[in-house]
Amino acid sequence: MLVDEDGAAGKKIVADLGTAQAHFILADVSRGQEVEAMVKATVERFGRIDILVNGANALHANQPMLNVPEAIFDRIYAVNCKSLYLSAMHVVPVFRRQGGGVILNMASAGGVRPRSGLTWYNGSKGAAIVLTQSMAVELARDGIRVNAINPVMGETDQLTTLMGMEDTPGNRAKFIGTIPLGRLSRTADVASAAVFLASDEASFITGDCINVDGGRCI
């Protein structure tokens, strides 16, 4: 079940997947009623929920911390932090009835090793990391595993915003130079880590935050 507030993008991904098993729900994960409806619709369609991926992300442009408007700050923490609370409130009871489940939170290398100019965004991801660890401890008795992934800056449509400058080879080189393996992250890097953490092969891993960062956080 795919969830996004961008209906066109969500429907395109479902079409690209090319399977009748994929479905899309329009929802803003920072709003309690919409998250509740999302979870209810998923259970009605599939009968259960096995894995919850909290992948929504909001950020501000790379800039001095005092230049970030309050409304943008509020949106970042609503999407990056409040959504973890809301999804837990509605999915954890489902997991408990089933006897277990997996939660995977998308944090960031910025929550471990912050970059200048992204202070409030970094803080939201630091919160996601601590929430992951605390949830893992509390929910372990229910057979619920909780882990996180910390990607480094990647080749996505948010790259220009994170860099705070035009996406040119020269500007990319400034950031790539801070990553020991010498490139930005790719969606496949993150997806591979996610599939592992959600699988039975990771059945004894919980409360971990894997840095998919090419060595940036060392």
Which residues are known to be catalytic? 121
- Three-state helix/strand/coil letters over the chain: CEEECCHHHHHHHHHHHCCCCCCEEECCCCCHHHHHHHHHHHHHHHCCCCEEEECCCCCCCCCCHHHCCHHHHHHHHHHHHHHHHHHHHHHHHHHHHHCCEEEEEECCHHHCCCCCCCHHHHHHHHHHHHHHHHHHHHHHHHCEEEEEEEECCECCCCHHHHHCCCCCHHHHHHHHCCCCCCCCECHHHHHHHHHHHHCHHHCCCCCCEEEECCCCCC
Angstrom distance (rounded) from CA 64 to CA 61: 9
| Order of strands across the sheet that contains 144-151 | 51-54, 101-106, 144-151, 209-212
Q: Are 176 and 165 in contact (CB under 8 A)?
A: no
